[in-house]
Chains A and B, each alone.
Chain A
Amino acid sequence: MALDVSELQTIEHDVLVIGAGGAGLRAAIACSGQKLDTGVISKSLLGKAHTVMAEGGMAAAMGNVDPRDNWKIHFRDTMRGGKFLNVWRMAELHAKQAPDRVRELEDWGAVFDRTKDGLISQRNFGGHRYPRLAHVGDRTGLELIRSLQDHGIHQGIDFHMEVTALELLKDGDRISGVLAYRRETGRFVVFRCKAVILSTGGGGKAWPVTSNSWEYTGDGIAMAYDAGAELMDLEFTQFHPTGMVWPLSVRGILVTEGVRGDGGILKNNQGERFMFNYISERFAPETAATVEEAHRWLEGDKNARRPPELLTRDEVARAITAEVKAGRGSPHGGVFLDIASRRPADFIKRKLPSMYHQFKELAEVDITREPMEVGPTLHYFMGGIRVDADSQQTTVPGLFACGECAAGLHGANRLGGNSLSDLIVFGKLAGDGAKAYIQALPTTPRVDGDQITSAIRRATEILNRAEGENPYLLHARLEETMARGVGIVRTKNELETAVAELEDLKVRARTMKAPGASQYNPGWHEALAMRSLLVTSEAVTRAALMREESRGAHTRLDHPDENPEGLTYNVIVKKAADGRMETEKRRRPDGPPHLVAIANAKIEDLEAGKLGTAAPST
């Protein structure tokens, strides 16, 4: 069938943002604020992106609750949490700019919980030295997305809801547009633009137990890969330690770290507070050694150290997995998270209203009276598309990435609360980066009709073929593969098996069939998303195979320790000239001396402001 590209609907923007979560909205606001004609496409309705699920808060060293806090300590915490594999400059930019980005949300109507003095309140979270998370109860993500949305709709941005991107279009090396389709009608639409900002999130839907929604299929990661961009650090997939484990239908849904930040403790089926047995050497000096000390910390004793339940997520998730494996788990295969015995019921309902509601309605558990059952759930991709720290540009000119789909800030493990601040800091920088790129662009790039035609053909074949694989069942097979082979602990053999299974799934995916027409057809949408999921899953698996050490969220049973060599490289994934997926160990540049000094400093020196004063202020 001949396809006339000129008959397709074509929409022009200076910049198109793909994804309308926190990062995408913040990027779009930055673009429109600089007089760029800005469009946003999102797979869901506006305001439904996964950002709404973020609960605990956004980390910013404002020092409202503990004045000892400052950007250097936030930076140090982020580097230590990321096992020093973070991109130094990104961790620096993030720690320095997060406070301004949070305060700016107040200009746009956000209403955070307040301190007694009327300032933005901040709560404790894992890996953060001080109470640092600006929050609204346990629905901070909703507050973030609604504030950006309500501000954004008055900024002249064009929102195209329920539109899914299929492929990035290029003119030579440069980005020239995006081919997408409208979910409602199934019609294709060509966006012609000078720059594209990806803010598409991670790919958690490749796993069966995940806190992620259906949207998390790695679209941005896969499209960028196909367009020739480099991916980085994908072996680091964060398993959040506390997801719901029962009933089965809600397995994986997030239980905020705020429960532990506000005093919740983890127990095994012997009633033992087991986290005291899992304090690693790195964190021992800053972690309570006894139940008594942890209790004093909760009471507000500033000399007491933090309870081990607030160790970084990788440490807590591994500890829970070990307890369950040792037969000390809860009836449904998790452990117990108890806040009922720690805090009065009205405190719990006020600070953790969504958790109270969620357990009451979905699991018939009253968390003010009983402990919750929790276990690890695939939550977040530290890795993603490789970007320049200051501009967020990928290795493809005109293509930018921010938020979860970009790599670098979090290194080998992300601290809770650093994601929401990541979105607003790097969303803005991506918008600024796109503006600078467009200003310097000599000519408007052109879209390639042949590229559009072949992409449309690939998409419509799924509807047109007489019979083939059921995309839902194929997706279920992919989840099994990833759960078995690329879980919280990994081995060479299992990863190699997963690679082989993925090769098989890729072949089967070529013959997927979605019955019905193209109008709002979830079977077809599922089949199209499978392509992104498979690229993303393969990249994660191959990167995990290449990194032969355990670091942060990447745990190899056959290489159980951190290897000093592991700090000298990042695993880069890209598409080779022959179309194969290529992995390489890319040497990391050394950290700038002033940042290395801060990361390795004693906490007391940073509190006193003794270090890093020579560092540039922005």
Chain B
Amino acid sequence: MAIRRFKVWRGDAGGGELTDFQIPVDPGMVVLDVLHRIQATQANDLALRWNCKAGKCGSCSMEINGQPKLACMTRMNSFSETETITCQPLKTFPVIKDLVTDVSFNYEQNKRIAPFKPRPRDADGQYRMYQEDVDRVQEFRKCIECFLCQDVCHVLRDREGRETQSFIGPRFMIRVASLEMHPLDTEDRIPELKKELGAGLCNITRCCTEVCPEHIQITDNGIIPLKERIVDRFYDPVAIIGRKLLGIRKRTKTRSEEAAQGAGSEDRDG
């Protein structure tokens, strides 16, 4: 059993500092095991989140030696034997205590997305979808909401500025993608995506994709296709003329714009 050096950030919203621990480590341990041992034997009140301990729930997100990671999936033998391991809370979200941050921002973003709205069932009461048509959506639905992608998204990191406040972040871009590409869904979220959810603020640096523990191709399979849909709807003259000729109407106004216009016209009529 080797003794390893850990530096763990301890503090709260008012400030804090890295605290040193010397702790015995057994073979096969992951960083979360070591933090639990510190908690049980040296710092009973060390705050951290965890649940499944198998990379399935996305609770134990933190920055380990500066890298956003799941502590339960970071094996101790991935570090050299003399390396000091530094654990810090996610930087994009406000600290509550020690390694626990306030991630409520993310739960608020989900509510901004129009929910799933399925087409009617077939006459026999079934929905039919083919596996090849749901493969892409299933990739997005693997998301465990660890919010590591939200943590590294520079748009969200700098969201103090007013202009960038609207962006929902990569996790919720793929949530939108999972709905827009769902074979049964009949809702249209493209105007909202452009005008309210801040899709244009993402400039595709792919940091989100790199940290995804589920290896979801957030940028290539989710964000870029959504951006293409926005371009197609709002900017592509060929597509716009083509739709006009064929008499196809696509929404360019958001629900709230439609509602404002509706209210306005009622006023005029009144």
Contacts and interface: CB of A to CB of B under 8 A. Distances in A.
A544 B12 CA distance: 46
A139 B142 contact: yes
B130 A253 contact: no
B44 A471 contact: yes
Given A117-B128, A136-B141, A522-B45, A250 B53 contact: yes
A358 B55 contact: yes
B51 interface: yes
Nearest to B28: A247
A524 B45 contact: yes
Interface residues of A, number: 65
A150 B115 contact: yes
Contact of B55 (A44, A50, A136, A357): A357
Interface stretch (B131-139, B200-208, B237-245): B131-139
A291 to B, nearest CB: 31
B110 interface: yes
Given A53-B57, A213-B53, A109 B142 contact: no
Interface stretch (B93-101, B189-197, B257-265): B93-101
Given A213-B51, A520-B100, A113 B131 contact: yes
A252 to B, nearest CB: 9
B69 to A, nearest CB: 12
A108 interface: yes
A107 interface: yes
Contacts of A113: 131, 138
A151 B110 CA distance: 11
A516 B55 contact: no
Interface in B114-167: 115-116, 118, 125-131, 134, 137-138, 141-145
Contacts of B115: 109, 150-151, 154
A48 interface: yes
A57 to B, nearest CB: 14
A472 interface: yes
Contact of B75 (A253, A361, A522): A361
A519 B12 contact: yes
Interface string A134-166: 001101001100100011011000010100000
Interface in B24-57: 26-30, 33, 39-41, 44-57
B85 interface: no
A552 B144 CA distance: 34
Nearest to B126: A119
A248 interface: yes
Contacts of A524: 45
Interface in A39-78: 44-50, 52-53
Contact of B49 (A45, A103, A246, A470): A45
Contact of A362 (B49, B54, B128): B54
Contacts of B130: 114, 118
B58 A136 contact: no
B261 to A, nearest CB: 24
A168 B178 CA distance: 40
Given A118-B129, A150-B115, A358-B55, A136 B138 contact: yes
A522 B44 contact: yes
A44 B51 contact: yes
A395 interface: no
Contacts of A52: 51-52, 56-57, 144
A242 B144 CA distance: 24
Contacts of A361: 55, 73, 75
Given A107-B118, A118-B128, A249-B28, A472 B54 contact: no
B42 to A, nearest CB: 11
B103 interface: yes
Contacts of B96: 184, 519-520
A109 B57 CA distance: 20
Interface of B: 12, 26-30, 33, 39-41, 44-59, 73, 75, 96-98, 100, 102-104, 107, 110-111, 115-116, 118, 125-131, 134, 137-138, 141-145, 175, 179, 182, 184-185
27 contacts: A46-B107, A49-B51, A103-B127, A106-B118, A109-B115, A111-B141, A113-B138, A118-B128, A118-B130, A143-B141, A150-B175, A159-B107, A214-B50, A248-B27, A250-B54, A357-B55, A362-B54, A362-B55, A363-B28, A472-B39, A472-B41, A514-B44, A514-B45, A516-B44, A520-B100, A521-B47, A526-B44
Q: Which 6 A-B pairs have the closest CB atoms?
A: A247-B28, A523-B44, A516-B45, A118-B128, A109-B116, A472-B40
